[in-house]
Structure 1
Amino acid sequence: MLTPNQRDRAIVKQGLTSEQVELNRQKYGRNVLTPPKRDPWWVLFLEKFADPVIRILMIAAIIALVVGGFQGEYVEGLGIIMAIFLATTLAFINEYRANQAFAILNQYVDDVQVRVMRDGRFTTIPRKDLVVGDVVYVEQGEEIPADGELLETVSLLIDESKITGESETIQKMTRQDAEEQGVHEDTYPIFNVYRSTIVDQGNGLFAVSAVGDQTEIGQLATAVATVESGDETPLNQQLEKLSQLIGLVGLSFATLIFSALLLRGLLTRELLLTAPQGYFLGVLILSVVVFLTPVWGPVVSDGLGLIDESWELPPWLTEDGLKAWLKSLLLGLAVAGVGVAIGLLLDFLPTLKEGWLTTEVSSSLLQYFMVAVTIIVVAVPEGLPMSVTLSLAYSMKKMAASNNLVRRMHACETIGAATVICSDKTGTLTRNKMMIHEVNFPSLHSTKFTDLEFNRSLIAEAIAGNSTADLDLLADGQVEAIGNATEGALLLWLDHEKLDYMDYRRGFHIHFRMSFSAQNKWMATLGRSGVTRKDILHLKGAPEVILERCSHILTEYGVFPLHNKEPILAAITTYQKRGMRILSFAYQDLPDNLVEFDLENMGHYLNWLGFVAIEDPLRAEVPQAIQACRKAGIQVKVVTGDGAETAQEIARQIGLCEDESTWQMGCLTGPEFRQMPDEEARERVKSLKVLSRAVPLDKLRLVKLLQEQGEVVGVTGDGTNDAAALKQAKVGLAMGSGTAIAKEASDIILLDDSFQSIVNAIIWGRSLYENIQRFILFQLTINVVALGIALLGPFIGVSLPLTVTQMLWVNLIMDTFAALALATEPPHDSVLDYPPRPRDAFIISGKMGWNICISGVVFLIFLVGFLLYLQRDHLMTDYELSIFFAVFVMLQFWNLFNARCLGLKQSAFNKLNENWSFVAIATTILVGQVVIIQFGGEVFRTVPLSLEDWSWIIGGTSVILWIGEIWRFAQRLRESRDS
C-alpha cells in the first residue's frame, strides 16, 4: 500500500505522466475485473435433458430400440433420438446466445468516465484505463472506481455496504488527519477507499493503490457482474398461467388419445388379447401411470390451481428431481407386484404358452404410448419461455443501440406498459448544456468584472471555492467543463473573464463542506478565505432560500442592510419566466478560531452577493416526443427542483400546458404538495402536469400515490436524491450522466439523457409484447390443429395421421424456429397509436382468441376433409400420408406470415428486408420440409413427391396467406376512406 511519505508530492499535484501510465499498466495491470466463472457449455447442454418430457421421450426411444431389435427395425427409435437431439441442441444454442447478450452490461461499467489528474491537469478517462498511481477525484453520488489512499477530503462520507454489509456511512479522512485525531480502524482503514463503494456526501482526492482483481472487492470475489431478473412481472405471471393451462390441455388430450387408440385397437381387433392378457395390460398401464407421477402430478396440480387456488395435490405427487423419480419407480413396482400377486391368487395371469403380451400387441401399445407422449410435447409450449427470453435479449441489445441500456431484463417489456412518465427537467427535457446568460452582482458596476479588485476576487472565490466541478483543456485548445453542469457553466464564465479558478480554489482552505441537498436547496463551504484572510462561509443555491437568509447586501460601496428585497425578487422572476435557472450567492464572515458552527442553523445574517441567470436550451426533439407519449395514452409529469415560473415555461414550450385551466389544475409546488393530505393529493396527481420546487420525498410520494391507483409509473432521475423514486417506480430510468447511486437504483439507463430515448424504449417494449403475442398466436393455432387431428384420426380410420417423428418435427417448427423468427420482429411506430394495455389484461386478447379458434377450426375441418378424401378407397398409402404431412406443415408455414401481422394492417411482406432472420428461418422451414419428405424415408414415413405435387401443395396452401393479405388490404382501404 502506498503512503504519503513514499509518494512523490509533485506527482500527487501533477498526476501521472503518459509514460508513467503505460509503465504502471504493464506492471500492475488494467482496472478490469475478471468475469465470473461460468459453467462450461457442455454442462449447459446437459441441462436441456433435465426436462421431464425430454426424459420420457428418451425412455420411449430406448423402449422403441429394444422392441425394434426383436423386429429388426430401428427407424422409429433413431428418429425419436434425432428429434430429441435436434430440439435440445437448438434450445441450448438459443439460450447460450441469449446469455451472451448480458456482456454489454460489463462493457458499460468499464467505460464509465472518471475524473483524474494527468500531466498536470484534470481530465476524464474510462474507468478501465485507471492505473496504480493515478490521482482520482470523486464526489457525492459517484462510485469509487478502484482502491486507493485519500490525499484530500471535504466532508467525505462513504457507503461501504458492498464490502462490509453495514448500511451506515463511514466518515473518511487522510492518513495524516487520522493520526492527528487518534482515529484507528483495523479492518478497513479510514484513510482508504475501495472499489464499488459509493460517495454518500462530500468529495475527495485519492491515489490509486490497486486495480482490477487486486482490489478488495476483486479479491473477495463479490464483484460478480450479474443482471438482476427483478420481481416477477405481470407478463411472467400471465405466461405462467398460460403454460399451466396448455399443459393441462395437453395432458388431457394425451390421455384421451391413448384411450381412443386403445379402444380402437380393441374394437378393431388390432389388439388381440385374452382376458388374462387384458388383466395384465391393466396392471401394466396402472404401474406406468404411477411411475410417471413426476410428469402428470405437477401439471394436474397447476391445472387445479387455475380453477381454485386452494386446490392442490399432496406434495409427494408434485415433487421433481431424482428422488421423486426413484419414489415413483418404487411405487410403480409395488403396484405391479400387488397386481401380479392378486393375479396369481385368482389364477388370472397369462400362461407361459400364450405369453404375457404378444410382440404385435407390445409394438402397438408402445406406438400408442409414444403418440400420447408426443401430444404432450406438442401441446406444452416449451418454446414460450425461450421466445420471451429471446425477445427480451434481442430488445435489450437493440435498445442499447438506441441509447437505452437495460440493467434489468424485465424492464424491456415493463416500459411498454407504462401509463405515466415522471420526468426530470434538466438534461432530459433540456440539453444540460448550461450557459451563463447574465450575471447580477450589485458589487460590480455591470455584468462584467470591474477594477474593484476585492469584490471581484470575493465573487470568484465564492464560485470556485464552493464548487466541485473542474475544467479540462482539450487538444484543440477548447475548454470543457467536468462534473456538475451548472457549476461547470460558472467556471466557464470565470475562464471567459480571464480568471483562473484554480488560483482561487487553492487559495481557499476548506474546513468543512455541506454538499448540495435537494432538501435544503443549497450548498455551503466553510474555510479560510484567500481574499479576506479570515474564516468565511460561502453559500449558493435557490434564490428564495438564499435571499431569505440574507440581512445585508454587498454593493460597490460596501456592505449595507438589505431592507427591500422586492427589486431582487422581481429581477429573478423576470428570468424565471423566460425558462432560466437562477443560482444565487451569499457569504458570511466568521470569527477566527471558531470552535463549532452549525450549518443547518446558520441564521439569517448572510450578505447577499447576487445571482446568475443560467440558460439550458430545450432539446429540439422533446416537444414531438411529448406529443407522441400523449397520443399513446401516456401521461407526462415534469418533476423539478426549479422554481414554478421556470418549470411552467418549460412545460409551455414542450406543449404540456396549453391553456389557463391546465395551469391552474396541472401545476403544484413542492410545499403545496407536502401540505396536502393523501386523499386530496391522490386526486390532484391525476391532473398534475408540473411539480416544481420538489424535494426527493415529494417525488417518492408522487410515485407511490400514482401506483396505488394502478398506474405503471416510469421515473427519470440523475442524482442521489432521485434513487428512492427510481427504485419505487415500476421502471426507473437513470441518466447516463447521473450518479452511480441513481444508476444502481434504475432499471434502464438513458445513455444520451434524452426524453426521446424514453419514447424509443416504449416503442420497443410494446413491440416486444406484440412479438410474444404473435408467437403465442402461431403456436396455439398449430396446437389446436395438431391435437384435433391426433384425436379425430383414429375415429375416421387413420390411427396415426402424423407419426411421432413427424409431430416432433412440427413441434420443432412451433417452439424453436417460430420463436426465433417472431422474437426478432422490428418495432413499429404504430404501437403508439393506442393506449397502454390494462395491467390485468390476459396475454391472449379477445382478437387473438377468435383468430386462434377460427383459424384452428378452419384448418382442422380442411385437414379432416382432406384425410377423408385421401382414404376414399379405404386405403392410406405412404404417398398419400406424405402429401398430408406436407400440406399440414405448409399450412402452418404460410400462417407464420399471417402471425407476423398481428395488430398490423400492413402486408406480410412489408419490411421483410429489415428482418433477415425471419426470411432465413422461413426458408429453413420450407427447405427442411422438402428435404424431410424427399429423403426422410422410413424415419419420417415419407416417400419422395414430384415437382408437380410440390407445386400444388405450396400453391394450394398459400391461399391461407392470400386470404390474410386481402383482409389486411381491405382494412387499409377502409381506414383510408374513413380518414
Structure 2
Amino acid sequence: MSNSEPQSFIVTPEELGQMFDQDNIRNGKSLEKFQNLHGVSGLCKGLLTSPTKGISSSPLDLSLREKFYGNNHPYVRKRTSILEFIFDSLQDTVLQILIVAAIISLVIGIIEDPTSGWLEGAAILLAVFIVVCVTATNDYVKEGQFIKLNVETNLHNVIVTRDGIEKEIPAKDILTGDLIYVSPGEVFCVDGILIRGNGLSVDESSITGESKLMNKQVVRAGDTDTDPFLISGAKINQGNGVMLVCAVGKYSVLGKNRSMMNQVEEEAETPLQERLGEMATNIGKIGFIAGTLLSLVLIAHLSYDAIRQEQWGASEWEGLVSSIILGITILVVAIPEGLPLALTLAMAYSILRMKKDNIFVRHLRGCEVMGASTNILSDKTGTLTQNKMTVTCAMFYNQFFSDAECDELPIECKKMIAESVARNTTAFITTRDDGKRELVGDRTECALLMMTSKWNLDYHLYRVPEQQKLQWAFDSRSKRMTTVYEIDSGVRVYTKGAGEVILDQCCYIATSANQKEILTPEKKAEIREAIRNFSNDSLRVLSIAYNATNWSLLGADSTDPKVSQEACENGLVFLGIVGIEDPLRPEARKSVIQVQNAGVTVRMVTGDSMETAVKIARQCHILDDDISDQEINEYAMEGAEFRQRVGGLRTVTDEEGKLLNFQVGNMDAFVVVAQKLRVIARCSPEDKLLMVIGLRAMGEVVGVTGDGSNDAPALKQSDIGLAMMSGTPLAKESADIILLDDNFDSVLKSVKWGRNVYASIRKFVQFQLTVNLVALIMSIVGALTVEESPLTAVQMLWVNLIMDSMAALALATEPPTDGLLSSKPFGRNNESIITPDMYITVVSQAIYQIAVLMIILFLGPMIFNIEYGWGNEEWTEENGMHFTIFFHVFVMMQVFNEINCRKLSLNEWNLFKGFFNNWMFVGIIVFTIAFQMILVQFGGQTLKCSALSLEFHAICIAIGAACLIVALIVRMIVCLIRKSKKRDEDLETVGLLA
C-alpha cells in the first residue's frame, strides 16, 4: 500500500461498483484498486467521510450524497397493468368458449331480428366482461399486496455513526460513506469495506453459490491477499466489526441482482390453498357434468321439436347456441374460483389488520398455520417480560449495594467499572428530538450504561474506537462477551457474561483500592451464594471482569494481533456482579392463560438460571400454581439435563455427508419428558431446536419465538417462526411472522387471526356449496320439465358474481372474535373443511330453497295470478314476470343465507351478533339488494327481467328473509336432539355407576 499522502478526489459509484465486482475480488484486482485509492484513509477522503466519525448528518449533506451515490430504498418492480390482468383473465378456456358462443348468438339474433335479436348475445358479452374485470381487479390488488409484502419484509434498522454519534436508522436510509456496526446474524444490505473488527466469518453462498465460509480482515500495510470486501446479501456467521459503506441500492451487488428480476417471487401454495384447490376441482367436475347434461337435454328437446315440425331454421340454430351457452354458464357458475380468492382475500385482510395489532406477516402461510398451532415455545426476555432492564442491586469490590447508585463505592472504582462496561458493550444512549433519552441495542447492555449514567460518568469518554483491537460478541454457547483495547503499550481485556461462567474464569478479585488479590475458593463460594440469591429474586445476573496485560504475554504482535478469545481471558480480575430486573408484562399472565384455554401448550425456553426461569414461569401461569417444589423437576429442567434424558439431537445425512434432517436421539424418552416439561432453563440453541424437532415428530404444530441469530435454526425448523422486532436480521429472515412489539399478547392475537382465516373460509364454503347445489339442481330440473332453464345465462353470470367475488369479500373480512379461542386447534390432523354443522346448514338451506323455487316454478303463476314464463315463443313483459320472480327470489335467498353463513356452529342462535362490526359485509349486502332491484326494474328484454311492483319486491324479499327463520328452526331442532342425546348418555353413565 502506498504511504504517500492521499490526493483530493471524489470516488464515483462506477469506480466503487468495479471494486465489488465478483471477478475482480477473486483475482485480486479489487484489492489493487482499493490500494490505489490509498486504503481506508484515502477511500474515506474520496467518499467525504471519516473512519471514526462517519458522514455529516446535516440535511444538505445527506441530500447531496443521496443525489450523487443513490439511496438504499428497496427495489420495487414495475406493476403489471390492469389491462394485462384483463388479458390474462381472458385466457381461461371456459370463458373463451362462452365468448365465442355469445358472438354466434349475437350474429344469429341480428340476422333473425335486427331490432332486438342482438340483446341476449350482447348482454352475455357484457356480463363476461364484468366478471373478467372483477377477476382482474382482484389479481391486481393481490399483486400489490405481494409487492408491498416483499418490500416491507426487507425493512429493518441498523446502527450507524454520524458526526461521531451512534444512531439507529432504517436500513433504507443508509448512504454511501456511512459507518455501520455489524455483528453475527447480520445480513448485509449494502456493499462495504471492513475497517475495524476481527474474526469475521461470512457466508456468501446466497451471492456466489459457494458454501465455504469466507474470512474477512482489515487490510494492513503490506497485505497482498487480504479480503476486506463485505458483499450485500451475505451474512455474518461469526465475529463483528465496523463497515464503511461503499455502494447502496441499485449500485450494490444485491441491488443489481434484484433489478434483473422480471417478476415478483410469489410464495408456494399453503396447505389450505392446496386443499381448496382440490375441492374447487372436484366441484368443477360436478359442474361440468351438470352443464353437459343440461345442454344435452335442451338440445334433445330442440331436436325432437324440429323433427316433429320437420323444419330447422334460424330460430333452431339460435336455440342450439343458447343451449350450449347455458351449459357453459352452468360450468362457469359451478367452478368455485371464489374459493382460492376467498382465502387470498382473508389472508390479505388479516395481514393488513394484524399489522395494526403489531404483527407483521412475512409469509402468507404464517397467517394460516398459526391458527393450527398446538405448542408455543416462548422466550422469556422481552416476550413474557417487558425487556426494560434495570440494575436493581449489585456487588462490587466485595461490597453489596441495594440499588444502582452504589453511593458508598469510591469514584475510582466506579470509573474502572464504567470503563469496563463502556468498552465491552455495543449499545448506546441517544437523545430524541423531544428531549427524551432512547436506548438502542441490547437491553442488558443498556441497563449497564444507565447504571454508569446514574454515576454521572459519560460512557463516550471511555469508548475509543481507534483503541479497540479485538472483540468477540456474546455467544449463547460461551455466554460471554470480550473486548480487547490497546492502551499506550499495554492491553486491557474486558469481559462480561453469565454470573458463574465469568466467575469460574477469574483468578483474582479487585479490591476497593483498585488492587487485586487471589480469588480464594471461600470467596468464590460467597459470590456464588450472592448469584443464587439474585436469581431467586427473578434477577438476571451478570459478572464483570477485566485483565491488564500486554501483547507479548498474549503471544501476539500489536501490528497484527491474532490471538484466541481464551488466551485473552487468562488471569481475569473479578470486579463484581449486577442483578438486572426485567418485570413481567402486565398482560402476560392473562394472555398465557387464554392461549392455554385455546388448547395450545405454552413452554418457556430461556438462557436464564433455573431459579429465575421457574419464578417467572409461575408468575405467568406457564407453571400451574398447584405444582409443588417436589414435582418441579418434571416440569422444569436445565438444557443439559433435557438433552441427556432424550438422547440429544442427531443429524441425518446422505452418502455425501449432506445434511438431510434432524432426529431426536431417544424419541420414546422424549414423548415421556414432553408430557410435563414446560420450562427449559440455561437453554442452548441446540436444546431449542431439539424441542422443536421432537414435538413435530409427535405430530404437534409448533410455533417458536426468537430474537437472536442462534434462534434461526429453531425458527426455520418450526411450523411457524415468530421473530422479535428487536431481533437480529437473521432471526427475522428465518421467521414467518415478526412481532413488532415483542409481546406474548401478540402471539395470542396471531393464534386468533390464524383461526379466523380458517373460519372465514369455512363460512364461504358453507355459502357457496348452498348456491351451487340449488343453482345446478334447479337448472337441470327446469331443463327436464319445462324444456328451458329458469335462469338465463346473463342472470347466472350475475349470480356467479354475487357468490364468488362479492361473497368472498364479505365473508373473508369478518373480524376475529374471542369465541375462536374456545375451540381446540385443528393441528396437523387435516380435519375436513366441512364440519357436521356445516353439512346440516347447507342441506337444510338447500332443501328450503329448492322447495320454494319448485313451488314458484310450477305453481307461481297460479299463486301470483300471472302468466307462465315457459312455453312461450317470444318474451314479453307479461310472460316474463314468472321467471323474473323466480330469479328475484333466488338471489334474495342467497343474500339472506349469506347472513346465516356468518355462523358456523348451530349452537349460535344470534345470527346478527357482530353484524355491524364488519361494514364491508353490511355494504355488500346493501349493494347486492339495491343492484338486484335495479336489474329487475330496468333489465328489460336484455336481461329477461320484467319490472315488478313494490308488493312483489316485498314478497320476494320476505321469502328470502325466511332463510333466517329456517336457520333458527334447524338450530332449535338440532339443539333439542343434542340435549336429549346428552341426557340419555348421562342417565346411562349414572346407571353404570349405580
TM-score w.r.t. the length of structure 1 is 0.85
Q: Do 1:32 and 1:110's aligned partners in 2 also have CA atoms closer than 8 Å?
A: no
Q: Do 1:720 and 1:742's aligned partners in 2 also have CA atoms closer than 8 Å?
A: yes
Q: Do 2:780 and 2:789's aligned partners in 1 also have CA atoms closer than 8 Å?
A: no
Q: Do 1:905 and 1:972's aligned partners in 2 also have CA atoms closer than 8 Å?
A: no
Q: Do 2:390 and 2:580's aligned partners in 1 also have CA atoms closer than 8 Å?
A: yes
Structure 1: give runs of 5+ residues left out of the alignment.
185-189, 275-353
Cα deviations by residue, 1:817-844 (Å, 9 ceiling, x for unpaired): 1111111111111101111124311111
Following superposition of structure 1 onto structure 2, how do residues 558-707 of structure 1 map, counting pairs within 5 Å? 558-564=516-522, 565-590=524-549, 592-593=551-552, 594-595=555-556, 597-599=563-565, 606-657=572-623, 658-660=625-627, 663-676=632-645, 677=647, 678=666, 679-707=668-696
3-state SS in 1 of match to 2:604: strand
The 1-side partners of 2:400 and 2:383 are apart by 37
Deviates more, 1:787-796 or 1:455-464: 455-464
The 1-side partners of 2:882 and 2:432 are apart by 77
Aligned residues: 886
**Structure 1 residue 733 corresponds to structure 2 residue 746:** no
Equivalent of residue 854 in structure 1, options 844, 847, 857? 844
Structure 2 partner of 1:496: 454
Superposed displacement of residue 20, structure 1: 2.3
The 1-side partners of 2:675 and 2:269 are apart by 27
Q: Do 2:75 and 2:258's aligned partners in 1 also have CA atoms closer than 8 Å?
A: no
Deviates more, 1:34-43 or 1:440-449: 440-449
Q: Do 2:593 and 2:621's aligned partners in 1 also have CA atoms closer than 8 Å?
A: yes
Q: Do 1:634 and 1:836's aligned partners in 2 also have CA atoms closer than 8 Å?
A: yes
Q: Do 1:142 and 1:740's aligned partners in 2 also have CA atoms closer than 8 Å?
A: yes
3-state SS in 2 of match to 1:691: strand
3-state SS in 2 of match to 1:586: strand
Q: Do 2:861 and 2:868's aligned partners in 1 also have CA atoms closer than 8 Å?
A: yes
Residue identity over aligned pairs, in percent, reads 36
Equivalent of residue 959 in structure 2, options 953, 956, 959? 956
Equivalent of residue 182 in structure 1, options 224, 235, 258? 224
Cα distance change of structure 1 residues 601 and 552 upon mapping to structure 2, 3 Å threshold:
same
The 2-side partners of 1:139 and 1:223 are apart by 29
Equivalent of residue 856 in structure 2, options 858, 866, 872? 866
The 2-side partners of 1:42 and 1:874 are apart by 44
Cα deviations by residue, 1:138-178 (Å, 9 ceiling, x for unpaired): 22223334333333223333333343233333322334x2x
The 1-side partners of 2:598 and 2:182 are apart by 41
Q: Do 1:796 and 1:868's aligned partners in 2 also have CA atoms closer than 8 Å?
A: no
Read off the aligned partner of 2:449 and give its amino acid letter. Answer: L
Cα deviations by residue, 1:766-785 (Å, 9 ceiling, x for unpaired): 11111111111111101110
Superposed displacement of residue 89, structure 1: 0.4
The 2-side partners of 1:382 and 1:717 are apart by 38
3-state SS in 2 of match to 1:157: strand
3-state SS in 1 of match to 2:901: helix
Structure 1 partner of 2:243: 206
Cα distance change of structure 1 residues 454 and 378 upon mapping to structure 2, 3 Å threshold:
same
**Structure 1 residue 545 corresponds to structure 2 residue 492:** no
Equivalent of residue 821 in structure 1, options 810, 817, 821? 810
Deviates more, 1:160-169 or 1:489-498: 160-169
3-state SS in 2 of match to 1:50: coil
The 2-side partners of 1:863 and 1:555 are apart by 96
**Structure 1 residue 86 corresponds to structure 2 residue 53:** no
The 2-side partners of 1:951 and 1:660 are apart by 64
The 2-side partners of 1:211 and 1:960 are apart by 61
Read off the aligned partner of 1:558 and give its amino acid letter. Answer: K
3-state SS in 2 of match to 1:464: helix
Structure 1 partner of 2:985: none
Structure 1 partner of 2:376: 421
Superposed displacement of residue 263, structure 1: 4.1
Structure 1 partner of 2:749: 760
**Structure 1 residue 272 corresponds to structure 2 residue 307:** yes
3-state SS in 1 of match to 2:887: helix
The 1-side partners of 2:681 and 2:82 are apart by 54
Cα distance change of structure 1 residues 513 and 273 upon mapping to structure 2, 3 Å threshold:
farther
The 2-side partners of 1:11 and 1:241 are apart by 61
Q: Do 2:939 and 2:946's aligned partners in 1 also have CA atoms closer than 8 Å?
A: yes
3-state SS in 2 of match to 1:208: strand
Structure 1 partner of 2:764: 775
The 1-side partners of 2:978 and 2:746 are apart by 30
Read off the aligned partner of 2:707 and give its amino acid letter. Answer: D
Deviates more, 1:160-169 or 1:220-229: 220-229
Deviates more, 1:592-601 or 1:381-390: 592-601
Q: Do 2:240 and 2:472's aligned partners in 1 also have CA atoms closer than 8 Å?
A: no
The 1-side partners of 2:62 and 2:499 are apart by 45
3-state SS in 2 of match to 1:623: helix
Read off the aligned partner of 2:895 and give its amino acid letter. Answer: F
3-state SS in 2 of match to 1:142: coil
Cα distance change of structure 1 residues 138 and 862 upon mapping to structure 2, 3 Å threshold:
same
**Structure 1 residue 14 corresponds to structure 2 residue 41:** no
Structure 1 partner of 2:444: 486
RMSD, aligned α-carbons: 3.0
Cα distance change of structure 1 residues 494 and 788 upon mapping to structure 2, 3 Å threshold:
same
Cα deviations by residue, 1:686-722 (Å, 9 ceiling, x for unpaired): 3221111111111111111111111111110001000
Following superposition of structure 1 onto structure 2, how do residues 154-233 of structure 1 map, counting pairs within 5 Å? 154-175=198-219, 177=220, 179-184=221-226, 190-221=227-258, 230-233=267-270
The 2-side partners of 1:602 and 1:21 are apart by 41
Superposed displacement of residue 273, structure 1: 7.1
Structure 1 partner of 2:705: 716
3-state SS in 2 of match to 1:156: strand
Equivalent of residue 881 in structure 2, options 879, 882, 886? 879
Equivalent of residue 379 in structure 1, options 305, 320, 334? 334
Superposed displacement of residue 272, structure 1: 1.6
Cα deviations by residue, 1:660-690 (Å, 9 ceiling, x for unpaired): 3562322111001111222212321232211
The 2-side partners of 1:841 and 1:232 are apart by 18
Q: Do 2:700 and 2:827's aligned partners in 1 also have CA atoms closer than 8 Å?
A: no
The 2-side partners of 1:686 and 1:226 are apart by 47
Superposed displacement of residue 191, structure 1: 2.6
Superposed displacement of residue 727, structure 1: 0.8
Read off the aligned partner of 2:279 and give its amino acid letter. Answer: L
Equivalent of residue 37 in structure 1, options 78, 90, 109? 78
Q: Do 1:444 and 1:456's aligned partners in 2 also have CA atoms closer than 8 Å?
A: no
Cα distance change of structure 1 residues 975 and 600 upon mapping to structure 2, 3 Å threshold:
farther
Superposed displacement of residue 43, structure 1: 1.4
The 2-side partners of 1:247 and 1:106 are apart by 33
Structure 1 partner of 2:26: none
**Structure 1 residue 64 corresponds to structure 2 residue 114:** no
TM-score w.r.t. the length of structure 2 is 0.84
**Structure 1 residue 129 corresponds to structure 2 residue 177:** no
The 2-side partners of 1:94 and 1:693 are apart by 50
Superposed displacement of residue 109, structure 1: 5.4
Cα distance change of structure 1 residues 265 and 192 upon mapping to structure 2, 3 Å threshold:
same
The 2-side partners of 1:366 and 1:668 are apart by 76
Q: Do 2:161 and 2:179's aligned partners in 1 also have CA atoms closer than 8 Å?
A: yes
The 2-side partners of 1:638 and 1:563 are apart by 34
Q: Do 1:151 and 1:205's aligned partners in 2 also have CA atoms closer than 8 Å?
A: yes
3-state SS in 2 of match to 1:505: coil
Cα deviations by residue, 1:97-117 (Å, 9 ceiling, x for unpaired): 232234543564575322222
Superposed displacement of residue 198, structure 1: 2.7
Cα distance change of structure 1 residues 369 and 562 upon mapping to structure 2, 3 Å threshold:
same
